[in-house]
Amino acid sequence: MARRPRLLPAVGTARNLLAASLEGLLADPAGAGERGTPADPTDLPLVLVACSGGPDSLALAAVAAHLAHTGRCRVGAVVVDHGLQAGSAGTAGRAAAAARDLGLDPVEVHRVTVERDGMGPEAAARGARYAALDDAASRLGAVAVLLGHTLDDQAEQVLLGLARGSGTRSLAGMPESRGPYLRPFLDLRRADTEAICAFYGLDPWHDPTNLDPSYARSRVRGEVLPFLEDRLGPGIARALARTARILGQDADLLEQLSAEAYASLRTEGDDGTVLLPEDGLRSLPAALRQRVLALAALELGAFQPSFERLRAAESLLDRKGSAGPVQLGGKVSVHRQVRGRSVLRGQPSYGSLVLRNNGSSNGPGGQQLRRPIQE
């Protein structure tokens, strides 16, 4: 009898990380039949893997397939073809075939159109990708969508945030979970996923844009992070990922406090505006005040305003100089309500900052908060 190959430590770690990430979402193993196979597999919860065919997502698909074999869930895959590279359809087809060979079902390929709409190419591609994943998860009734980001991706994200001069949420990197999206491999190195692919005999696709120096992320990956590890020690990537985890906890608390403050201050005007009382805003710490202003802008349809735009909006509270408007992006502006002009019918509204979407007749009640585009 041939000996079974010894389990690679990285594979065992990856399996444990995935099981922990899906805790509470899987079927009870006590309900499984002989050899862990349930009587009716269609009753099992469905988990989808976002699979590009690269080492990270292919390793995740292989580990998830093992979990499906235990009879606690079904595992499928969604491959998104952005159509941005020559031969992208063939690459997507090979990724789908690899997922099917691993036993994943259903496996779907989604061809998307990437529309810039004022965003950079990477952000636009992310937006199109998440729209496709959202659609597939909703239509198929998936309990979770697995993303293959690793500790190295997290470290790169923190460095990019530092280079942009970003705030707490950006420096917190990518969350382990957000809604149905889970990132079980944030404690694994990229070398681990490559080793997992080799263990399973998989031939992953290597995205050529990862080596293209015209992309900031590629320069961080190929030049900056290796330089830092050479000069500061090989633990720098793990230290950056740990920083992201710490800041993520801080950002969660600040967002909770900001949402509570916004709910207590917000008033809706008769013409679809959002009013925030100046005295209430002044009483808040700067960290919360800026977040409250950002929440109002997001509700009215803007993208996340920059720090400089939020500071300009804050300056209206000084009651010096112009009463605005200050543009917050996405055709959303804010101005200080001047004496004698009412926003609320029959009520004086002097003493408020007024935010409006100048490009839409819809009131804020018909808007949805825009979800920040994540890696």
Structure confidence at residue 5 (pLDDT): 66
Q: How far apart are CA 290 and CA 307, in angstroms?
A: 8
**Structural domain includes residue 249:** no
Identify whether residues 161 and 295 lie together within a single domain: no
Domain boundary among 183, 212, 244: 244
Identify whether residues 140 and 236 lie together within a single domain: yes
**Structural domain includes residue 2:** no
Structure confidence at residue 139 (pLDDT): 96
* Burial readout 283-297 (b: 16 or more C-beta within 10 A, e: otherwise): ebeeebbbbbbbbbb
**Structural domain includes residue 112:** yes
Report the number of distinct structural domains present in the chain: 2
Identify whether residues 131 and 177 lie together within a single domain: yes
Domain with 335 in it: 267-366
Per-residue pLDDT of the chain (375 residues; tens, 9 = 90+): 455 568 899 999 999 999 999 998 887 765 554 455 555 677 899 999 999 999 999 999 999 999 999 888 999 999 998 877 888 899 999 999 999 999 999 999 999 888 866 667 777 888 889 999 999 999 999 999 999 999 999 999 999 999 988 889 889 999 999 999 999 999 999 999 999 999 999 999 998 888 888 888 899 999 999 999 999 988 999 999 999 999 999 999 999 999 999 999 999 887 889 999 999 999 999 999 999 999 999 999 888 888 999 999 999 998 877 777 899 887 899 998 865 555 555 455 568 999 999 876 445 544 444 444 334
Structure confidence at residue 374 (pLDDT): 39
> What's 300's DSSP letter?
T
322-328, long-range: CB < 8 A, 24+ apart: 328/293, 328/297, 328/302, 328/355
Identify whether residues 191 and 293 lie together within a single domain: no
Structure confidence at residue 29 (pLDDT): 65
- Pick out the residues of the known binding site: 52-57
Instruction: Enter the pTM of the model.
Output: 0.82
Identify whether residues 40 and 118 lie together within a single domain: yes
- Pick out the residues of the known binding site for ATP: 52-57
Identify whether residues 24 and 112 lie together within a single domain: yes
Sign, CA torsion 210/216/217/221 = positive
To 10 degrees, what angle do helices 190-199 and 151-164 make? 150
Identify whether residues 280 and 215 lie together within a single domain: no
**Structural domain includes residue 25:** yes
**Structural domain includes residue 209:** yes
**Three-state secondary-structure class, residue 368:** coil
**Three-state secondary-structure class, residue 13:** helix
Identify whether residues 282 and 227 lie together within a single domain: no
Q: Are the beta carbons of 48 and 76 closer than 8 angstroms?
A: yes
Identify whether residues 291 and 212 lie together within a single domain: no
Identify whether residues 195 and 94 lie together within a single domain: yes
Identify whether residues 233 and 276 lie together within a single domain: no
- CATH number, domain of 57, equals 3.40.50.620
**Structural domain includes residue 138:** yes
**Structural domain includes residue 251:** no
- CATH number, domain of 279, equals 3.30.465.60
Identify whether residues 276 and 227 lie together within a single domain: no
**Structural domain includes residue 239:** yes
Nearest alpha-carbon partner for 254 in 297, 296, 285: 285
Structure confidence at residue 3 (pLDDT): 56
274-278, long-range: CB < 8 A, 24+ apart: 274/299, 274/300, 274/354, 274/355, 274/356, 274/364, 275/337, 275/343, 275/344, 275/349, 275/352, 275/353, 275/354, 275/355, 276/352, 276/353, 276/355, 277/351, 277/352, 278/317, 278/336, 278/351, 278/352, 278/353
